[in-house]
Amino acid sequence: MDYILYILMFCIGSLFGSFFTLAVYRIPLRQDITHTRSYCPNCNHKLTFLDMIPILSYTFLGGKCRYCKQKIRPRYLLLEVLSGIVFVLFAASIKLSIFTFNTDILVYFIVGILYIATMFIIAGIDKERIEIEKPVLLFGFICVSLYMVYLYIVENNASMYRYVIYLIISCLLILVSIFYLRKKGKDSYTIDILVLSMLMILYTYETVYIYTVIITLLAIAIQILIQKLGSNKNKAVKKEKKEEYEIPIGFYMCTANIIILIVTNFVIFYR
């Protein structure tokens, strides 16, 4: 019976993946992501139900829009598949089973899915635009804060002080970011990364965050090395050097954090 559960998890994950692609495209443009129907960004034709079935629609339509025949970027299919796999791995990492359902595991799973969704959207936007969207961060903090309240009420968790401290630090960083924005007329990417770090520490704890930073630094070092090797082979790209070396730190952090979270869960729950 658990096989049916995990097939369901993959389907739900792929549905979320379809939503992630929509959110990554619309949030930076300040467009509605809940009530406005999906549409083709090329011809603006509103999509029907048959156009939006995760994985299957892309496959049967040959990776093209049904109406304007414009090619759809493969990343949409990749994100849907990847999201489905991540949901299955997360469920498996906490031993989610229809035979051993309990409230604590269910709540942790739901909050975990919402947290992972937050990481996916932040990573997608940062990969495209090198920016961290504050509304998405706020959603993540709300989910984690509600989970902290649950832990305090149900388990009388004694470590609430650490949560409060990190929340205060996050609020201070956000205030600094707001004043920086008003004074300088631009966002502070560094401060947004620090706020993202506070969110990660709140939900995944310090150890997971440390490993997240280590993997992120390794990934950034590899990207810089590859870029330098590429620029040495083609001296003509020197004019674009500044733009070329923009690093999506948030993307690497979110990706690494999801991986380490799942691995850590496997270690804890299967010990």
DSSP letter for each residue of 51-65: G-STTHHHHHTTTB-
The pLDDT mean for the chain works out to: 86
Top-confidence residue, 75 or 8: 8
Nearest Cα to 24, choosing from 120, 114, 125, 112?
125
State the pLDDT confidence band at 234, using cuts at 50, 70 and 90. low
The residue whose two tokens read 């991540």 is: 86
Q: Where are the domains of the chain?
A: 1-93, 102-271
DSSP 67: T
The answer to whether the pTM exceeds 0.85 is: yes
* Residues 17-54 pLDDT 10s: 989 988 998 898 888 887 777 877 778 778 777 777 88
The residue whose two tokens read 């993202």 is: 196
| 10-261-256 Cα angle (round to 5) | 95
d(Cα 254, Cα 257) in Å, to the nearest integer? 5
Reply yes or no on whether the pLDDT at 209 is more than 90. yes
State the pLDDT confidence band at 242, using cuts at 50, 70 and 90. very low
132, 253 in Cβ contact below 8 A? Answer: no
pLDDT of residue 237: 47
- Residue 245 in tokens: 């070396």
d(Cα 163, Cα 150) in Å, to the nearest integer? 13
d(Cα 119, Cα 214) in Å, to the nearest integer? 17
State the pLDDT confidence band at 183, using cuts at 50, 70 and 90. low
In this structure, of 16-20, 80-84, 201-205, 233-237, the range with the lowest mean pLDDT score is 233-237
